Chain A
């Protein structure tokens, strides 16, 4: 269980007052989020509430127009409320910071012209300038931990969705990230493949990895998350332990959301109990 894994209190992520807009549409309306080392934070919310957008702000795939972002005590972003920079990092610095965050996408986004092994080696070799031998050894280790040792030389097109997503997790982990970001990692999977990906994520969480996970798998949230954060129309309106947020929702919109997903959470229970 979450409580039994080692937790220190060092702050890995500290987002304050994050505002993001696309054109005139304000998608994030001042989001504060702190994540401690080793914590698993699950981000839930209705479609269009801004979950993906928030996740993409963390590694600056989206540029907020206001707010502040610290990763592991390092200030990577700071804009005032008028979109002016308080700090402006050169692209090289931003890329370096990005390389310390791993991201897993709903659509996997593996590199189709590379094998599973090459996908996992790509970041360490090209971005971190590691030697091929070192990167290969680490990649093999990670792929094995994902149960993919049989598939290292296959291209993504030859792998099932569940296998592809596990390669994607290994690819993120290969960068030795300070935090792993997951955007609905099981939403594009056939139902029978969801379990294997969740299992890999559970193992990751138990190993002490700091994780921010957008998911509709409330069963996963309930069992694994240290905190569940509910996003509603670009604002965080609930943030607390899973039992509190999911079982005793106070905010009416959160209540509605949780009730709607209650059934699917029940359906997942057998898998999580069998773990």
Chain B
């Protein structure tokens, strides 16, 4: 039998977990965007060193599993630095650095997908690098980047469940906690999965609609 009371009597714990999940999702997306913008754009600069820094950053965080990054920042980094890092900060940093590397790739790709002729035309007008990025290249690139950026952000919400491995009380962690004293894993994990579906399926549908409108509009 599916025992609903397990969920209804622990709704506060679940809600707390949901709040933590949303908090880390939104926060890491915001910081990740800033990181991605910097790391994406420096790869397009004429300075070789900056290009390498951006490349190394991207390949580093994109190729280490997020779970390993989180565990490493929480458990290993404090030993290297000799300082304490709270699990909250470790989680936040890991998630942001991870998604930042994906955003950087999307940004770089988006900018590079803009026709060379656009650069030629704006350079011929006498625009500086900053002017042509801001006025000509980025406005065109961003339009193309919105679908993959949104897609990556949806994945990010799912990735936050890895926070439970470093005991950050996200939705999944709360679920495990509830099931540890109620012994009702079926009900609890079903509820957790359902919450993700309820939030992410509509977002995915909206995204698909935006994407289709975008393609149709050009």
- Chain A interfacial positions (CB closer than 8 Å to B): 59, 61, 91-92, 95-103, 105, 107, 109-113, 122-123, 126-127, 157, 171-172, 175
B216 interface residue, CB < 8 Å from A? no
How many angstroms between the C-alpha atoms of A107 and B125 in the bound complex?
Answer: 16
B117 touches A105 (CB 8 A): yes
A95 touches B128 (CB 8 A): yes
**Further 10 A-B residue pairs, CB within 8 A, beyond A61-B123, A103-B124:** A59-B124, A95-B127, A96-B126, A97-B126, A98-B123, A101-B124, A102-B124, A105-B120, A110-B121, A126-B127
Q: Name which residue of chain B comes closest to A127, CB basis.
A: B126
B118 touches A111 (CB 8 A): yes
B125 touches A122 (CB 8 A): yes
Contact of B118 among A99, A109, A171, A172 (CB under 8 A): A109
- Chain B interfacial positions (CB closer than 8 Å to A): 115, 117-118, 120-128, 131, 135-136, 139-140, 143, 218
B125 touches A175 (CB 8 A): yes
Residues of A within 8 A of B125 (CB): 98-99, 122-123, 126-127, 171, 175
How many angstroms between the C-alpha atoms of A99 and B122 in the bound complex?
Answer: 10
Sampled A-B contacts (27; CB under 8 Å): A59-B124, A61-B120, A61-B124, A91-B128, A92-B128, A95-B128, A96-B126, A98-B124, A98-B125, A98-B126, A99-B125, A102-B124, A103-B120, A103-B121, A109-B120, A111-B118, A111-B121, A111-B122, A111-B136, A122-B125, A123-B126, A126-B125, A126-B127, A126-B131, A127-B126, A172-B124, A175-B125
Residues of A within 8 A of B135 (CB): 122, 126
A105 touches B121 (CB 8 A): yes
